[in-house]
Structure 1
Amino acid sequence: MSNEDITLTAGEAEARVSPANGGRIGSLRIGSLELLRQGERYGCFPMVPWCGRIRDGRFLDGGTVRQMPLNSPPHAIHGTARDGAWRTARVSENEAVITCELTDPWPHPGRVTQIVTLAEDGLTLTMSVETYDDSFPAQIGWHPWFHRNLGGEDVRLDFKPAWQEERGADHLPTGNRVDPRPGPWDDCFGMPGGVDVTLTWPGQLELKVASREEWVVVYDEQAEAVCVEPQTGPPNGLNTAPRLVTPLDPLEAGTTWSWRRL
């Protein structure tokens, strides 16, 4: 099938999936409200096969040190799949299945599958990483750019993490866990019971970001948008908390965003 944009609908909700632009969700509208910042680098993109920054772009793969391109010098950031063209495998009125092959500069062949399912009151994203051959470390995450303002008051964030990963001067976790600090943030938090973050645009919409994963990065240092990023491990996690993809054991993760009008 082609990789043209896909529009999903359910009730007053509409989502646009852009396989050709890194498999991202380019738009999420609830009635007249567009929730995602617009632009080819925004929307909500998949972070795979790693999330956030890798220190100096290097990670240990078995006994081999691998070097990824430094697309956020001095680090490598947010994986390779957001820069690739995905293919459409299957589409219905409210669900799309898209796939991406892992190729150079990633050293191992593999396939990423993302399923986007829209309901009247929620959006569910699931992703899996499979290998045909070698085992390798990987991560899965999502990077949504939610509008800070939908035409009324600024969004309010509510979440109760168990800890915050202390951030070093290089923007990477130091390995120390600290009590959660006030924002603004470009920080990773631990939520062992699963990610649970509520965004409230007063008088308009409440949206809950949930995931079984226990890591979330919150980024709110830009005036236009707030990012709430569920992921399978912390930044630099290929080095500090690797999850191994094997031929028998793919890496799988999901997140659901549920909303209600206020």
Structure 2
Amino acid sequence: MQQIAGTATPVSGIQHRLRAGGYEAIIASVGASLRVLRDAHGDLVVPYKADEMRPAMRGALLAPWPNRTANGRYEFGGAVHQLPLSEPERENAAHGLVAWNDFTVTAKNESRVTLVGMIEAQPGYPWRVRLETSFDLDADGLTQRVVATNEGTAPAPFGVGGHPYLAAGPAHAGAVDAWFLELPADRFIRVSRGRLLPVAIDSVAARDGMFDFRRRRLIGSTVLNHAFGDLHRDASNRTRVRVTDRQGFGVELETDASTRWIQVYTTDAACPEDRRQAVAVEPMSCPPDALNSKLDLITLEPAASSSTEWTIRRAADTARGESRAMHST
């Protein structure tokens, strides 16, 4: 494992480069963020520069809740808690408390790095939770594992997620319109137009199936910023989401059973030059506003831990995709 040298620490934190199995990954310590993941055929996630403040949540770790909490206000353990409104334009607390924390490396080699960060007790979240996140790179792709441990003396509410921006080809404005999505989920959460908060849980077959991607189909002009649940799982209790080009060549994200929901976002709110340049596929242990709904929210007892993991790899879904992969070398 090589730590990238420099005269000063870049804005995105200390950089950790991993190489294995034909892949290269770079992890930035701020937010334990996946800054780069590529293979010989190109980027699997949309990268950003080391000395650049991370654009939005691109590649960040989300904890102790993913997505949004309405008004930053919730009840737990008989008390009402008020979080800072990190998304003031929508009056929400968004994406947890660690995305801008600097994580410390505790172990590393050429293909693996482990980073640790702490959620300290604070107004709105008066619990102390230790986060250990490891990145393992091999021929099967990049696996990120997150272990959360309650180091306090009272039960803590907890949720976790990731925020990788997947790319099935060169990332540019409008690229998403020509890509395909395969998302084996039976339900999705309808959200309010302005605040993107849950309104109801619907079958993906509703609304003429516009949110039904159980079979691979073109994204086209579909605007997605929705959480999907009732995930289909294989014999190993894992779910796979694929973003691919017309030839079936692209990226696959595989989650374990701890991922109960997957948020999909077609980057429509980005600046014009980045709009619809990638598909954020966000593995989440709980849905949006889970601190209020309590749906799939984890209660971490004192000294207890929970873990979740996901893997990102190159996908070649069809013989044509495999052919493209061979001819691009």
TM-score, normalising length from structure 2?
0.73
Q: Which residue number in structure 2 is paired with residue 214 of structure 1?
A: 260
- Distance in 1 between residues matched to 2:64 and 2:103, nearest whole Å: 14
- Distance in 2 between residues matched to 1:64 and 1:164, nearest whole Å: 30
Q: 1:251 aligns with which of 302, 306, 314?
A: 306
- Distance in 2 between residues matched to 1:205 and 1:121, nearest whole Å: 16
Q: Which residue number in structure 2 is paired with residue 112 of structure 1?
A: 131
- Distance in 2 between residues matched to 1:16 and 1:147, nearest whole Å: 16
| Residues 149 and 224, structure 1, Cα contact 8 Å, conserved in 2 | no
SS in 1 for 2:291: helix
Q: 2:47 aligns with which of 38, 55, 65?
A: 38
> Offset at 1:36?
2.1
**Cα distance change on mapping 1:84 and 1:55 into 2, 3 Å:** same
- Distance in 1 between residues matched to 2:110 and 2:20, nearest whole Å: 8
- Distance in 2 between residues matched to 1:46 and 1:250, nearest whole Å: 17
Q: Which residue number in structure 1 is paired with residue 291 of structure 2?
A: 238
2:66 pairs with 1:68: no
Matches within 5 A, 1:123-142: 123-133=142-152, 134-142=154-162
- Distance in 2 between residues matched to 1:131 and 1:248, nearest whole Å: 5
Q: Which residue number in structure 2 is paired with residue 15 of structure 1?
A: 25
| Residues 146 and 226, structure 1, Cα contact 8 Å, conserved in 2 | yes
| Residues 243 and 279, structure 2, Cα contact 8 Å, conserved in 1 | no
> Which structure 2 segments of 5+ residues have no match?
4-8, 49-53, 211-221, 234-238, 269-274, 322-329
> Offset at 1:7?
0.4
SS in 2 for 1:51: coil
Letter aligned with residue 22 of structure 2 = E
Q: Which residue number in structure 2 is paired with residue 29 of structure 1?
A: 38
| Residues 148 and 224, structure 1, Cα contact 8 Å, conserved in 2 | no
- Distance in 2 between residues matched to 1:6 and 1:218, nearest whole Å: 27
Deviations 1:71-117 (CA, angstroms, capped at 9, x unpaired): 11210100111111100010011111101110235321110110111
Matches within 5 A, 1:80-229: 80-103=97-120, 104-105=122-123, 106-133=125-152, 134-147=154-167, 149-150=169-170, 154-169=178-193, 170-180=195-205, 181-182=209-210, 183-194=222-233, 195-203=239-247, 205-211=249-255, 212=257, 213-220=259-266, 221=268, 222-229=275-282
- Distance in 2 between residues matched to 1:235 and 1:200, nearest whole Å: 26
SS in 1 for 2:105: strand
SS in 1 for 2:47: coil
SS in 2 for 1:44: coil
> Which structure 1 segments of 5+ residues have no match?
none
Between 33-42 and 238-247, the greater mean CA deviation after superposition: 33-42
TM-score, normalising length from structure 1?
0.91
| Residues 219 and 226, structure 1, Cα contact 8 Å, conserved in 2 | yes
Identity %: 22
> Offset at 1:192?
3.5
- Distance in 2 between residues matched to 1:36 and 1:256, nearest whole Å: 12
Higher percent of residues as strand: 1
- Distance in 1 between residues matched to 2:184 and 2:110, nearest whole Å: 36
Q: 2:72 aligns with which of 40, 57, 61?
A: 57
Between 63-72 and 40-49, the greater mean CA deviation after superposition: 40-49
| Residues 148 and 223, structure 1, Cα contact 8 Å, conserved in 2 | no
- Distance in 2 between residues matched to 1:177 and 1:151, nearest whole Å: 31
> Offset at 1:164?
1.0
Q: Which residue number in structure 1 is paired with residue 96 of structure 2?
A: 79
